[in-house]
Structure 1
Amino acid sequence: MEWLTKYPDRFVRECAELDKLAQEVDWLTVFWSITPEDLVLEVQLDMTVHDRVYKARMGYPAVFPNAPLYIRPRDPSERWSNHQFGPGGSLCLQWRADNWNSEVTGADIIRSAYELLHTENIPVTPGVVPSVHRITDGQRARNSYFRSIVTNDALSVIKGLQDQVKVELKTSSLFSEAGQIAFITHINAGEDNAHVVGDIPVGITGFSSLFSIEGKGWLLKSDAFDELLTISSVDELIKVISETALDISDIAVKNEETQKYEKRMIVLYGNKTGAIRQFSIVSYSDNPLKEYKVILPPPSDEVRLPEEHKKLPELKVGIIGLGSMGSKIALSLARSGIRKFVVVDDDFLKLENLVRHELSWTEVGLHKVDAIKNALNLTMPNLEIEVLNHRIAGQEPPINAAGAFQSLSQCDLLLDATANPEVFLHVAAIANAYKIPMCWGEVFAGGYGGLIARARPDIDPNPIAVRDGFYVYLSKQETAPFQQERGYDIEAETPSIAYDSNVGVIATSLTNLIIDTALRKNPSEYPAPVYLIGMKKKWIFTQPFDTRPIAVTGEGWKDGIPPTAEASVAAVKLLLEKLSEKSSAEANSCS
């Protein structure tokens, strides 16, 4: 009743308008009430329409008149109109949440409800009230606990099946308090030809990162399923299938001992219209048939990424350091189109990391490389991820270091997300030796700003020269209040302060720079190799998002001198000689 105390004059007006309407018409009686559970002010309505009395309640929300009134049946099981939000739900009237204005009164709402019910319930020839409903897919799915995701690959295989067929299928289901989500993962498209649906992340279909339950059943395709048939029980499902002359065996099977149904997933696909329905037969419920809300993929011509992103899947990115910066960038690159990764880090996820890390409590205690792999495999399908639980510039076996450097040397781009000078030198050496573009960045402690940088072979100075040029720039500025954010989980260092959003700004900017670099855009959207990005008025930054491009000069990339043919031949001859010496020595020892 908050609105009554705030707008007493409006309450007086509402009472007057309702009394006037009740006196003018012979189809309405009204009386005020207050709901005991939540103290909502309501008007109880009896509306007589075509000899039927509609017992309704009109509610005044606490924020009235800035929010719409509602009229709904007093009996929560009743459905009166096609313009109603389900049994017992509110009527969708002339004034609604999408067009409400504060001058509309309760009397106006009652008149609108009467006109709706009067028109729709005219004896013999009911009228039709045009619908102005604009309901989104999300709104339609609100009451659907069971949902099925059909991907483009799965739908393509289903459409390619012959008509009037029954084939085996497999699903993977994820469970949460909010819903059970099923994914079609395998379709038996022919004899010994089980198609594995390829556009589902592998993290969805197994136990590696989520508890995913496999389901088995049948996909049936027939023109008969184009009709919107009533199927609310197992018996009705069997009846509908049997009328198509398709095989009904192994669909509704009861366990001999428990007399409970064995679980089956059943998909019905209409051949002509593409209508698709999915059911699950379960054993734990009084009503063993559960229908899923089927969520189809968007049209294939719907574009959500720039055309250039199609070039990214063939590129391999090496990410060194999977802290707050590296973790955000890894997932963002996967969403942007990168499909091949080499991820390097030696640390595991700690509770104190969670204030800025992309991962969550479900990965605490896991090594970051393994956790990021799981997260990537839940983000996009068809990824290739090489995991290196290794510390660059740390005390590691030489053979491990050599293997890590070998993997990084085969990347198309290297990202140093450690903010560690020693690591930078090692990664820069690999980039320089193999002419691999390199990017790096960091957040300044305190979150007042950060930097993003890159070095491209034969375009920019080499990575170390770019860094040195940046230091020259810094030497000409006033001393920064904080030099750099804590980097690469250095032990016994006081944690610095920055919000997750501060890291996110720099990570997003660096991701864009990485994509520009990986695509070798010409002209590039980033003319300078280094950018300082401010997030508050501090140091040299005059305002939030003050961006300072920094041009640097310095030594170029080292060109390897190709060996001469004579040198190559001499090396091969020497190798053969050395190998023959070993063979001769072994032969002499045996004799």
Structure 2
Amino acid sequence: MRWWEKRKHLLVREKSRIDEKYPDNDFVFEVRNDRLWITGTILGFFEFECCYPPSYPSAPPDIFPKDRSSKWVPRHQYKKEGRFCLDIREKSWSSRLTAADIIKSLEVLLIAEEIRVASKSDKLIVYEEPEPTVIDRLIRVKQCVIPSDLELPNEGRFGSFKYAYKWKSSTCRIVVTGISGEEIKNESSLAKKVWLDDTLSPQFKGMWIRVNSNDLSKLLVLYDPHKVIEHLKGQGVIPKDLDLREFFEKMSLWKFLVLDEEYPYISFILDCNIEKKKTSRSGTYIFDLRALADRMPSKDDYQHLKNKKVTIIGCGAGGSKDAEYFVKSGVGEIVLIDDDILRTENILRHSCQLDDLSVEKVYAVEDRLKKINPDIEIRAIRKHLDIIDADTDQVIKDSDLIIVATASNEGLFNEYAFSRGIPAIYSKVYPLGFGGEIIRVIPGITPCYECSHQFKEVLIQEEKPDAEFPEIETASYDTLSDGTQIPIPALAVDSDFISLIGVKMGLEVLIEKDWEKLSGSSHIRLWGNKKQWIFDQEFECISIPSDKIRKIPNCIICYGDAVVEEELNKAGEQIDREYDEILSRIKSTANEEKENNH
């Protein structure tokens, strides 16, 4: 069901807000390809088209010139279809705004462009944000560290390896995979691929193999180790009339990387040692995955969690640790969402390691989780969520828990999770890691995140009116060209406390079948690593009682349609009538368009 059919109050609010700001408008609502559009004219000359996203109101509408020209305000239009870049952007969008605000923002932009042209200025008066410099862009360039160079023969099935960069341990990684559609779409900066035989067994796709660069002479990948020599003979490496012993007596030490179909999660080195006149394999470990839960305190909980799905937004220091602990607790399905890559300065706080450098965080964390439990189901999405688009919604809408491990766009995730009845955990680490906070939201049990956060702030002010949140002006490890300081993050040991508490609160929700039993629990916890701000001692945990946190009376997230009725001063019956009228006009427009096309 489309959003305007599912939430009729929102459609009536859209029309009411437009009529308030544009009393004599000629705007028309239309449906095209299952999306709602508004077309009309502003400023007496400019014809626009505004398109609502399928996930509205979690995401803002897009607005275009009707002629799709990108020359109206060239610096603030995307070349493809001329979509405008306004001051109301994804990061500043709120569900309290409407398409009327988007249209008004476009008016301001068009007027500012006219003034700029008339005054022959280089800047728009409403857009004083500096353009990124060359240095800013270079900072964001993704660099692949290892392997930095691979020399392979044209057929790409086996060959010598040379690495321009070597770790102290001389450990390198070989990627056993083709380029997946997801990687192509997201322009993955994963290390260069080793192209393999097309007959490679599918279960090896995406596997990462660690080998010593000094010891590896040749690479060969086959799903049956008994076919190694047959393959070498077929490629002309081994003369067909020579047996294995004769061949290796004439050659130096050889090592082959082999994947054995019998043990799909095991890789090993086939070691052909001429001096000792023997061929052996090493690095194998036969394991039984059924034994993973043998030492869990509650096998029932472990089995219960195998059917749970947790979405983690943000795979930095906190998100990567959260993912690891959820997998170790038994959660069977994880969705990872992040758009950043792992950099050197991340390593001392992150769950991943140096040999994961230059890899997208979602892929690096996915790889680490697979090493903990290969049976875990993981969906890695390389994306920055300023909005929740239809594709992302399709993946995460059936989540049992959402972890918001990023300090931005909480309002977006709050509206999305709360309206769909999905519990969520919001965690935040304070500057330099002197403490942090965790807010748990359970729809139907607690207020939404925005209400919880605001009441928390009020309670802190009431309890400790003289406490001032620390201002750490020198907390910076780098400065961008525009003078913006990048703050120093917390030590891993400090931020880990916040992750552990958040995961524990999340597990309570996943394990408890009747959420009503959690109604009396504390859903907001403040943790202090140091005696600072409101914390009277080190390692203090302040739990705010649940009865102290209430819903804000006009919160649209908590109360939904009732707030819209009060805001518009219209009863439900009146909204129903207006909705039917708007809907009939939409259908009429759609029918007219259909007739015109015929």
Pick the structure with more strand per residue.
1
Pick the structure with more helix per residue.
2
Computing the radius of gyration from Cα coordinates, the structure with the larger value is 1
TM-score (norm 1): 0.48
TM-score (norm 2): 0.48
